[in-house]
Chain A
Amino acid sequence: MVARKVFARPVSLKDVATHFCPGCQHGVVHRLVAETLDHFNAAGRTIGVASVGCSVFLYDYFDINVVEAPHGRAPAVATGVKRVHKNSLVFTYQGDGDLAAIGTSEIIHAANRGEGLTVIFVNNTTYGMTGGQMAPTTLPGQRTTTSSAGRNTASDGHPIRMAELLATLDGTAYSARVAVDSPGHVLEAGKAIRRAFGYQVEGRGFAFVEVLTTCPTNWGMDPVAANRRIAAEVIPFFPLGTFVDRSGDER
């Protein structure tokens, strides 16, 4: 019987084991970004900007050039990289602690300036690397190591919906939120990431994709239960969708 390979590891992803916990969906997002780089045959001219968090080892996993940015500053570092290397594909890959807490200023101004970057924002509703503290994206009532009675919106504020917030800025060409909790959603997420990189390939400006993911370890759940929580609790608060999509003709 002759067989054809219909699904395999993308070549832009190094053939190594990751340090991510079992079931951590950083791995899925890494694969989807690598599939997109394969699609554009762009690994050789791509520069990733890694953030501080569990995804700090981008350079160990992607077969591309990577710059390490100080906590939250990836969009500022990427701005410099892109302005110097105009023909490179430049993306940041940031967690919600990195992008929506310490790096709020950098992301808002990079988007507002309409920098020609692609930003992959991995929202797992917590600070994964440091042991599961409350993030600006932590859901109301969610227990974390710094909100042991659950997030209290009266004292802690409400979770920030970054994809919607950035969509209000004129500099943002594309902003979408996706999830990877089902095979169908993984397909949709891959399309959004490809679109966001396509915007950069075509020089259309700032593109942002928020991906809802699990952190089974800090949620204190097994990976399958954590994955179910995405549809049950996370998507109802962080709706999936495209919040702005300015084609070249409209601009």
Chain B
Amino acid sequence: MLKVVIEEERCKGCALCVDACPAHLIALGSRFNCHGAIPAIIAECDQARCTSCAMCARMCPDAAISIYRELKALQDADSRQ
């Protein structure tokens, strides 16, 4: 399941999300997007390690990141409350 979705064509490659992720899951890629920026990427295998904390998305000046959380994780969190 994808917890972090980075909209490649909205990303300006500023790396503020890279700097914000406490688990160091995001990096800048290696190819340019249509606007000449090098967009941020997250490897498929790192999606599982993501806690859906949304720190990356909060720092993004371009609202290029959406965050999803597993419903099971949400239910567990609810039942703990």
A residues with a Cβ closer than 8 A to B are 1-10, 13, 17-18, 20-28, 31, 180, 182-183, 186-187, 216, 222-224, 227
Contact = CB atoms under 8 A, between A and B. Distances in A.
A6 B68 contact: yes
B58 interface: yes
Contact of A23 (B14, B53, B57, B67): B14
B45 interface: no
A86 to B, nearest CB: 32
B59 A9 contact: no
A22 B37 CA distance: 9
A1 B72 contact: yes
Contacts of B13: 22
The 7 closest A-B pairs by CB, nearest first: A27-B61, A23-B14, A22-B12, A7-B67, A2-B71, A183-B55, A223-B14
A3 B71 contact: yes
A224 B16 contact: yes
Given A17-B62, A227-B19, A6 B12 contact: no
A10 B35 CA distance: 23
A249 B12 CA distance: 46
Contacts of A13: 63
Given A9-B66, A21-B12, A183-B58, 7 more contacts: A7-B58, A17-B9, A22-B14, A27-B60, A28-B60, A180-B59, A224-B19
A97 B21 CA distance: 33
A77 to B, nearest CB: 27
A27 B52 CA distance: 22
B65 interface: yes
12 contacts: A3-B68, A3-B71, A5-B66, A7-B65, A8-B67, A21-B12, A22-B13, A25-B61, A28-B59, A183-B20, A183-B55, A223-B15
A223 B16 CA distance: 7
Contacts of A182: 20, 59
B26 interface: no
A187 B65 CA distance: 16
A25 B63 CA distance: 11
A6 B63 CA distance: 13
A90 B44 CA distance: 44
A3 B66 contact: no
Contacts of B57: 7
A1 B61 contact: no
B14 A31 contact: no
Contacts of A223: 14-16
Contacts of B59: 28, 180, 182-183, 186
Contacts of B10: 17
A187 B55 CA distance: 10
A17 B35 contact: yes
B70 A27 contact: no
Which of B16, B19, B53 is packed against the most chain A CB atoms within 10 Å?
A: B16
